[in-house]
Structures are given as structure tokens and as C-alpha cells.
Amino acid sequence: MLASTSAYSLPIDWHGAFGVDSSILNNYRRVKAKTNNVPVTTNSGSQEVALTDGSKQNASFQSYVFRLNPTLIVNDSATFKAELTSGYGRGGRVGENDQKSKKGGQVPYHYTTTSDNQLNINKLYMELYADSATYVIGRHSADWGLGAVQNSGDNLWDRHSFIRDGITAKLKIGNFFINPYFARISSDGSLTRSHRTKETGITLLYDNIDSDMAFGVLYGVKTSSSYSEKNVNGPAGVTLGQTDVKVTDFYFRKKFSDLSFELEVPLFSGELGHYLTTTGNTKYKAQAILFSSNYKLSDTWSVGFDAGQVSGQGATTSSFEAAYLNPNFQVANLLFRYNMHAITDDTQSVYDSYVTNAMYGKVKAQYKNEKWTWDTAIIWAKANEVAQKGETFFNHQTQTLVNSANANQSDDLGMEVDLSFKYQWNEAVEVGVNTAYLFTGDYWSFTNDANVKNEASNSYLLQANVGMKF
């Protein structure tokens, strides 16, 4: 007896992004010296980037970004979504075929980026729709405020994505949006509690469309057990042990007719284990204040002002006070955007670079019509914490603790002039050019050697790119 069965296939909606860029980075070391004086490879407190074979002062490289986002609507109450990428940083370099792992050092990250696999699964989750809430279960991303801490990396050229392996419940009560979440960051080593790393938290947001105002708070706790595989060596040279990190991130947004502004204030606290000392717990006390504004002059012209202060690490070793923002959060085309040590050290990633230990101001203007977008900006920045002779200090670029400074360091990070334009070829494809000229500050000439000194030298960036979102 034959039994007949019926089968059907569900349609998959394919979205994603692909882009290729080519960059020329002039004088990536930001000093006039043509040979190694006191590179960071010989003095961990130095800001001098080490030269590689050939002693070239300039760099050029091509890279790509790739994201494939399938969406499958199972039924009226369930949807499956995913994101597939390749390499590290959601793409790779043209001409590179080896695998890389995360090279950002042991920064107390508040995001999880992709691995070094040739094919990465950034997202793999279901959305379940109920009368009470929408439930997101699996590997998914999150975004909050200006994206300084939690950043989903939705922009075409974002190299990183905040990833959460767990469950998020999305509730809406009037103008209030309440999203509690739980995530398991790591269970490597064993499936017992002694190797567990987890994250719990909640976001509360009030968003009133009628008054063009929103405000809220994100509160999250990330804990690691003593034997967690994520507890690798910190600056103190020993495994971190048990950690308990908290983030309280306030956000406010308001619009008055043609004027709009946003404010985000993330506060980091808790304990980082043996991060700076081999015994006892290192307290975590870091914060940032970030402001962004925009004024619409006409249908095509707008101007704005951005400012921020991101704490750095001083001479103390009892607490860690440096805030490292999400690497997708950038304020300039060149300053903070690239890890210059990765230019000559291919075990690192050029995109592992963060806004940290800085006070900055940015004046910006934009012209935009149906096809063209022109952006220009002037950015000024200074360091909050620098080396003082005879005192302990922290090298924020390499996340290295140095016992004693041999000289004083300038706090001048420099001033940068940016000019970018983007041409919208069609609805899916855009072609762009980014340029930057950095009037390099003396902060970058520091060698931590009283007898050997560098002289700061200006640097510039030229970049062409083409990308598509589909």
C-alpha cells in the first residue's frame, strides 16, 4: 500500500552587503624618522610603530566586506534569520588567504566579534511573535544609542558586530520599550559552572514620536568564572580569574524642528580579576560622555558638532579606568580608525582600533542631493592620560602596563581634516572616496627614552571604495 505525502518549500529572502576598498596610508608611523629609533617592540612604552623588512614609510592595501543575510518566514508567528560572513572583520584583505584570529589584545570588550574561520556564522536565530512580546532566540545582535558599546554593525563598512548567544524578549507598553536578555558568552573547557561566561541585562527606552524625544538606560552584567577559557593573560601577565563587569549606559535623543542631538553616557564598573595585578581584584572604573548634533540648513545642507570624552588609564594599578568603545564607533577617517601596528605585523588586524583615552571635538558639514553626498569635518583630539616621568603608565594602543616612565609625554593627539563623497550609482550600489589629513600631535612621537626622541610628522589617507547592499 502506498502512502502519499505532500511537501513544500519556504521562500528565502536574501539580503546582504558586499564592498571593496583600496587605501593609501602615507606615513603610518606618524614620525619623521626613516629608521627604527625606539619602536614598541623594544620598549613597550613607546608609541613608535616598528618598521618591517624594506623600511617603507607608507602603506597600501585593499580589503573587502561581505555579509549574507537570509530571512525565512516560517509562518505568521515565526521567522528564521541568519548572517554569514568570511574571514576576520566580516571580510578580509585582497591577496590574503590565511586565517586570522582576534588581535585586539585583552581589552575588556563589551561586544563579541567573529572568529577566524573562513566562513563565520555571525547570526543564527529565530523570532517568535506572541501577544505578550517578541522573543529572539539564538545568536543575534543588539544596538543601543549611538553604538558606542552595543553596535550591531548594520552600516555597509562596519567591520564588527555585537553578538549575543541567548534570548532577548522585546516588550512594548505604550511608548516604553523593555528588552530583558540573557546570553552565554562561553562554555569552553567544560560544561560546568567553573568555565562559564554569561551576560544578563535589560534595556529600558521611552520613545515618543509625537514629541521627537527618546531616553533610556541599558544595564548589563557580564561574569566569567575562574577557569573560563576567555580568561587569558592580561597586562599583569597572569590569567584574569573570576571577573564581574557591569555597564550602565544612559541615552537621550531630542529633535527641535531642524535641530537634533543625541547624548550617550556609558559607565563601566565591577571587577576585572587580575587585570593589572597578580594578586587581588582590579576594580573597573571607566566612563565616556558622547554628544552628537545636527542642524538642517536646507533640503541639501546640514551642519553639526560632535564632542566626547573617553576615560583613560592613569598611574594607578588598583583600578582600570580606560574605556574602549566599540570599534564600529568612529569619529574620523584616520585618527582612531586603524591599528597602525598591524601595518607591519600581519598577526594583527588593522581594524582592531578603538576610541579610547581621548577628548575630542568635531565640526562637520554635509551636502546631499538625490545622487551625491559630500561630507567634510575638522576633528581635534587630546589624550586624557599620558606618561609622567617616574610614574607607572599604560600604553593604550598596545594595552601594556609600563612600570616607570623615563620621560614626559605630550597629550596632543592632533587635528584632522576629512573630506568624503559618495555617489549613489543606483538603489543598491554606491561609489565613494574618503580622504583625511592628520596634523599629527606630539603624543605619537613619545619613545619612553629620555635620550632618543622622535619628531611628529603629518599623515594622510586616500581611499576609494565601491559597495552594494541588497
**pTM score:** 0.90
pLDDT tops 70 at residue 50: yes
Report residue 49 as a C-alpha cell.
Answer: 610603530
Range of weakest confidence among 64-73, 95-104, 244-253, 315-324 = 95-104
How is residue 192 written as a grid cell?
Answer: 560546568
* 119 and 84 Cβ atoms separated by less than 8 Å: yes
Q: Tell me the pLDDT band of 228, cut-offs 50, 70 and 90.
A: low
- Model confidence at 10: pLDDT above 90: no
Q: What is the pLDDT of residue 99?
A: 46
Residue 460 reports pLDDT greater than 90: yes
Dist CA 108 CA 326 (whole Å): 11
Q: How many CA atoms lie within 13 A of 126 on its CB side?
A: 9
Weakest mean pLDDT among 94-98, 232-236, 384-388: 94-98
Query: What mean pLDDT comes out for the span 150-175?
Result: 93
For residue 20, the SS3 value is strand
Give the torsion sign (CA, 54, 461, 313, 31).
positive
| pLDDT over 90 percentage in the chain | 71
Q: What is the pLDDT of residues 268-277, one digit of tens each?
A: 999 988 888 8
3-class secondary structure, 422: strand
Contact in structure between 300 and 264 (CB atoms under 8 Å): no
- At 103 the pLDDT is 47
178-211 pLDDT tens trace: 999 999 887 767 777 777 788 999 999 999 999 9
CB environment 285-300: b (16+ within 10 A), e (fewer): bbebbbbbbbeeeeee
Mean pLDDT value of segment 424-445: 97
Q: Is the pLDDT of residue 425 over 70?
A: yes
| pLDDT at 292 (0 to 100) | 98
Strand partners, 49: none
pLDDT given at position 230: 56
Under DSSP, the state recorded for 38 is: S
Measured in whole angstroms, how far is the alpha carbon of residue 363 from the centre of its chain?
22
What would be the CATH architecture of the domain defined by 12-469? Beta Barrel (2.40)
Task: Compute how many other C-beta atoms are within 10 angstroms of the C-beta atom of residue 89.
Answer: 23
Tens of pLDDT, residue by residue over 284-337, are 999 999 999 999 999 999 999 999 999 999 988 889 999 999 999 999 999 999
pLDDT at 92 over 90: no
Of residues 416, 406, 410, the one with CA closest to residue 444 = 410
Does residue 160 contact residue 113 with C-beta atoms inside 8 Å?
yes
Handedness of CA 386, 388, 393, 398 (dihedral sign): positive
Q: How many CA atoms lie within 13 A of 76 on its CB side?
A: 2
Q: Across the strands, what pairs with 17?
A: 67, 469
Mean pLDDT, rounded, for 456-462: 97
Report residue 1's pLDDT band, with 50, 70 and 90 as the boundaries: very low
* pLDDT tops 50 at residue 98: no
DSSP letter at 328 equals: T
Residues whose CB is less than 8 angstroms from the CB of residue 299 and which lie 6 or more positions away in sequence, other chains included: none
Q: What is the pLDDT of residue 314?
A: 92
Does 101 score more than 70 pLDDT? no
Residue 226 is predicted with a pLDDT of 75
Distance CA 243, CA 283 (A): 10
| Whole-number Å distance between alpha carbons of 331 and 350 | 17
Burial class (CB in 10 A: 0-12, 13-18, 19+), 133: middle
Q: What is the pLDDT of residue 232?
A: 57
Per the model's pLDDT, the better-predicted residue between 404 and 237 turns out to be: 404
- Of residues 103 and 57, the one with the higher pLDDT is 57
| pLDDT (mean) for 53-59 | 88
pLDDT at residue 42, rounded to an integer:
87
pLDDT at position 196, please? 77
What amino acid is encoded at 386 in this protein? V
Of the two residues 394 and 161, the one the predictor is more confident about is 394
C-alpha cell at 439: 596634523
Question: What are the structural domain ranges in the chain?
Answer: 12-469
User: Which residue, chain included where needed, has cell 600631535?
Assistant: 441
Tens of pLDDT, residue by residue over 14-45, are: 999 999 999 999 999 999 999 999 888 889 89
